[in-house]
Chains A and B, each alone.
Chain A
């Protein structure tokens, strides 16, 4: 199977601060990217997505930036809250006649009250 990375890096932020989570993806042919949030013992939840023809997309309190030149994604969370504490994964989609979602390494976000 495919995945990227073995260990979860950790980001610790103060409540109310902005968080920036980074991710490197592997396939320059991937044309669609998603950020997921996973809480302990649960499945991933969709946060925000971006297509390869865009370099920025904003949602409610979240922004995704895509740099195709260096194959880099970032997720920015504004005014981070304790409920944002979770593991965040970027995922790339390879169109293989259907689609296949390949997850990146993930980052654990701790929000300090």
Chain B
């Protein structure tokens, strides 16, 4: 099947710093990618839809100025957590569909962010 990678797989940063997480589709192009956040023992929460060539669409309650999304190319989307705080510590997961259907959606392995 298609492969979606994320980098880094884990990161520890100090409070107040910014952290960039990359999501890549390795063997297909993705005009749309999705970013999710998952707290321990909880479900995945959709944060935003990343669109190549246009602005990301954020879900209600997600601060666009704090979670900057850039869909730089057809194979790369980045999520930057700005001015990170301990409450931003979470598992961040991206996904990308190989076509415009949800059954073609592949998920990345996730990035564990810990903010000290």
A5 to B45, CA, bound (A): 10
Say whether A1 contacts B62, CB under 8 Å: yes
Say whether B44 contacts A103, CB under 8 Å: yes
Q: Which of A9-50 contact B (CB under 8 A)?
A: 32, 34, 36, 41-46, 49
Chain B residues, CB < 8 A from A113: none
- On chain A, the number of residues with a Cβ less than 8 Å from chain B's Cβ atoms is 29
| Chain A at the B interface: SS class | loop
Chain B residues, CB < 8 A from A2: 45-46, 59-60
Chain B residues, CB < 8 A from A104: 43
Instruction: List 16 A-B pairs, Cβ < 8 Å.
Output: A1-B45, A1-B47, A1-B59, A1-B60, A4-B43, A8-B41, A8-B42, A49-B102, A89-B44, A98-B32, A99-B97, A99-B101, A99-B102, A100-B46, A106-B42, A106-B43
| Chain B at the A interface: SS class | strand
Chain A residues, CB < 8 A from B112: 41
Interface residues of B (CB under 8 A from A): 4, 32, 34, 36-37, 41-47, 49, 59-62, 93, 95, 97, 100-103, 105-110, 112
Chain A residues, CB < 8 A from B100: 98-99
The 8 Å CB contact of A3, one of B4, B45, B97, B109, is: B45
A28 to B100, CA, bound (A): 22
Chain B residues, CB < 8 A from A1: 37, 45-47, 59-62
Say whether B93 contacts A6, CB under 8 Å: no
Chain A residues, CB < 8 A from B105: 46, 101
Q: Which residue of B lies closest to A106 (CB)?
A: B43
A105 contacts B by Cβ under 8 Å = yes
Say whether B43 contacts A44, CB under 8 Å: no
A97 to chain B, nearest CB (A): 10
Chain B residues, CB < 8 A from A101: 34, 46, 95, 102, 105
Closest 9 pairs (CB-CB, A-B): A43-B107, A1-B59, A1-B45, A3-B45, A103-B44, A93-B102, A3-B43, A103-B43, A99-B102
